Amino acid sequence: MIRLENVTRLFDNVAAVDGFSLEVDQGEVCVLIGPSGCGKTTTLRLINRLVEPTSGTILVNGRDVSRTKAEVLRRSIGYAIQSVGLFPHMTVGANIGVVPGLLGWGKERISARVNELLELVGLEPRQYAPKYVSQLSGGEAQRVGVARALAADPPILLMDEPFGAVDPLTRQRLQVQFLRIQRKLKKTIILVTHDLDEAIRLADRIAVMQSGRLVQHDSPERILASPANKFVHDFVGVDRALKRLSRISVEEFIRPTPSVTTSATREELSAAIGGHRSVWVVDGDGRPIGWIDRASLRDPGQLNDITVRADPAEMYVTGSDTLHGALSRMLGLGFKSLPAVDDNGRLIGEITLGDIEKATARGENMDHV
């Protein structure tokens, strides 16, 4: 879909991008990452010809971009930047409608498209379309920026730190939304960031850059497991084993677990706990509310009295959580296992510290592959 062949760009005889080659497949999210000044933004801007290469070729869909008129090329490539760059004298609706307008769409079609996109990024169209940029929060502005980049339904999206200028919590929400939208739209995306966690969360493949050169281009798992050289090794940091966990969903690690309701009899309890060290206690709807230790079995009190209660929202994990999230919750609560619940909050199994350890070890072994 996008191919850079041996591209070099000099600024005042200093190479910002130096003999750079990269291939991005259709529907793939490629994250360009590296320290400040490594040339990642320049690389991005080479693709829509905001910067022209000193030498080398850039192909989009097999066609040399230098053979397409720059303006025409750019209208077919979505572009979102960190500072968003929304036009302050236009409403949100007008901002999103800019590229369709440049392409000569009719009024009706543009406004229908604006509504569709605002809904896609989770902003109520009737409320937000007539607003001005100065009336938006940082997170809303970034979402409008993404909607604007998607306006003419371009097959390719270039994003330069699109979630950079917001607080960490909002950023995380925007990232989750990004993944949801990408699963639906399957765009070819090149995204620039300096935030490794963001890269790991969003990328299908990561391209690590250093001084204008490509150092490693691989899946996040492989980058974390086997850094190509010392630079990448240092860049991903000593906690790369932990970081890798954020790529792994808890889903495949959920194992069945016994549970009892608060109205269970002593016999049922003994049967349920079997050889385990403890058993989860659920309410009438099957939602976990606490657990009973094996040691408490000797306690003569009511089942209700020997239950150790815990805040369900604090302790449960769902299928969409990552091992990283599960592990940090375990460490935070001091638990060796956590209950896993389905979308309705009902207990479906548990995830244990031992399983997470095994997952880590499995990754470590990849170092020696």
The residues that touch other proteins, with contacts defined as CB under 8 A, are 45, 48, 50, 70-76, 79, 81-91, 98-99, 102, 132-135, 148, 158
> What type of residue sits at position 122?
G
Residue 159 or 245 having the CB closest to other proteins: 159
Closest CA to 335 of 285, 280, 261: 280
Residue 132 or 231 having the CB closest to other proteins: 132
Q: How far is the CB of 287 from other proteins (least distance, A)?
A: 47
Residue 26 or 83 having the CB closest to other proteins: 83
Q: Which residues of 109-141 are buried (b: 16+ CB within 10 A; e: fewer)?
A: ebbebbbebbebbebebeebbeeebeebeebbb
Residue 45 or 201 having the CB closest to other proteins: 45
| The token pair that represents 81 in the structure block | 């930047």
The DSSP element (H or E) to which 318 belongs, if any, is strand 317-318
Could you tell me the sign of the dihedral formed by the alpha carbons of 89, 122, 164, 186, in that order? negative
C-alpha distances (whole Å) from 102 to each of 72, 142, 270, 337 are 10, 22, 72, 56
Residue 155 or 258 having the CB closest to other proteins: 155
Q: How far is the CB of 257 from other proteins (least distance, A)?
A: 52
Q: How far is the CB of 89 from other proteins (least distance, A)?
A: 3
Q: How far is the CB of 78 from other proteins (least distance, A)?
A: 9
- Phi and psi of 263, rounded to 5°? -90, 5
Q: How far is the CB of 6 from other proteins (least distance, A)?
A: 24
Beta pairing partners, 156: 77, 188
Q: How far is the CB of 160 from other proteins (least distance, A)?
A: 9
Beta pairing partners, 144: none
Residue 156 or 273 having the CB closest to other proteins: 156
